[in-house]
Amino acid sequence: MAKWGEGDPRWIVEERPDATNVNNWHWTEKNACQWSKDKLKELLVGLKLDNKVGSCKVTELSKCDGEASANNRKAKIIVFFEWELRMKWKAKVPGEEKSIEGTIEIPNLSDENTVDDLDIQFLTEATSKAAQLMKEALRADGTPIVKASLQSYIDALKKEYTQGMILPSKEQVSSNTNKLSDLRLDSDKGAGKNGLTGGAKNTGVKLELCNLKSSTSMKCTAIEAFNALTRPEMFAAFTNGSGRIEPKVGGTFELFGGNVHGKILEIQAPTVLVQEWRLKEWPDGHFSKVVFTISEKDDSTDISIEQTGIPKSALEKTREGWERYYWDAMKRTFGFGSFIL
């Protein structure tokens, strides 16, 4: 029997703030289907396939059947994907009045093959000499262009989409918190020119207050957005390990070493979150009120906040902070920011 404290680390309950997936040992899976469809459409539609015969571009991703997922096992990221794709192309050959149209068939894009193994077929029902010349040119010159775009999808799936899946350990959270405990989001700590900290001191003068609204759209479901704002492990992830939250009415939260902190006033999962919210350097005892509203659409989720009671001197710094330290950070960490261009 192992001595106390010398057991297999896989079975030791690490003192993580979120108490979730200790040492990243358990298998966790994240569905990447919708993200993949949007990413493939972004990379392929409008792709130029110009060649020596004429100009050509992909006009539509008409078929995208399959599935994709990202998995974390023992702190190792593994991705699975299998897609059958069909694209439409349209070409123009000098001297020809009519455009030439056709399709690109890719039956076997999967994690079991490299892009070099792909069977990419350029097809057209047109029978003219120009159409056949274009088809052959696309096979020769268009194939590597399509393969490069598909490789970009695979790279993004492995790197961009999987950000935040490996949760920080107790030591990492502690280290990051220590580094951020003295963080000032101002480039000039004294003047408070940028970021969230700074603002009026308690001088006995009546504060001039104002309000702000900020919103964004994310490629996720409403519950995923809500979880990012309330689940301890996800809150810690997008705040670089500094965030701590108790997801209940009356529960407290803080991030950036306490430079932002407050209390939860209301929770209506997954659509409403109301917080009492303040910056450390605001006058003692002064809190603003923040109302998060989360609305799921067909292919995205809108998140908006309405914040009341902000000291006027901190308005622009606070507005910038929502964009930079909440919206952008969430998109970057969880892959919520991929949109069709």
203-228: pLDDT as tens digits: 556 789 999 999 999 999 999 999 99
- For residues 66, 72, 74 and 76, what is the CA-based torsion angle, rounded to 10 degrees? 80
pLDDT the model gives residue 78: 84
pLDDT the model gives residue 197: 42
Assign 167 a pLDDT band (cuts: 50, 70, 90).
Answer: low
Section 45-54 average pLDDT: 95
Paired tokens of 222: 């409403």
pLDDT the model gives residue 194: 40
In single-letter form, the type of residue at position 187 comes to S
Q: Which domain holds residue 187?
A: 170-334
pLDDT digits (tens, 9 = 90+) for 59-85: 999 999 999 988 876 667 788 999 999
Section 37-42 average pLDDT: 93
Distance CA 255, CA 183 (A): 10
Q: Is residue 250 situated within a structural domain?
A: yes
- The answer to whether residues 185 and 308 belong to one domain is yes
Assign 94 a pLDDT band (cuts: 50, 70, 90).
Answer: very high
What percent of the chain shows pLDDT beyond 70? 77
Q: Is residue 19 situated within a structural domain?
A: no
Section 264-285 average pLDDT: 94
In order of 120, 230, 295, 301, the CA distances from 31 in angstroms are 26, 20, 20, 16
pLDDT, the chain, mean: 82
Instruction: Tell me which of 133, 159, 185 is where a domain ends.
Output: 159
pLDDT the model gives residue 205: 60
What CATH number has the domain bearing residue 68? 3.15.10.20
pLDDT digits (tens, 9 = 90+) for 294-306: 999 988 999 999 9
- The answer to whether residues 154 and 183 belong to one domain is no
**Which comes out higher in pLDDT, residue 5 or 154?**
154
Q: Is residue 4 situated within a structural domain?
A: no
Asked whether the predicted pLDDT for residue 286 surpasses 80, the reply is yes
What CATH number has the domain bearing residue 224? 3.30.530.20
Section 32-45 average pLDDT: 92
Burial environment of residue 302 by CB neighbours within 10 A (0 to 12, 13 to 18, 19 or more): middle
- The answer to whether residues 268 and 321 belong to one domain is yes
- The answer to whether residues 241 and 285 belong to one domain is yes
Sign of CA dihedral 119, 120, 126, 132: negative
Sign of CA dihedral 219, 226, 256, 189: positive
Distance CA 51, CA 54 (A): 6
pLDDT the model gives residue 32: 86
pLDDT the model gives residue 75: 65
The number of distinct structural domains making up the chain is 2
Q: Is residue 104 situated within a structural domain?
A: yes
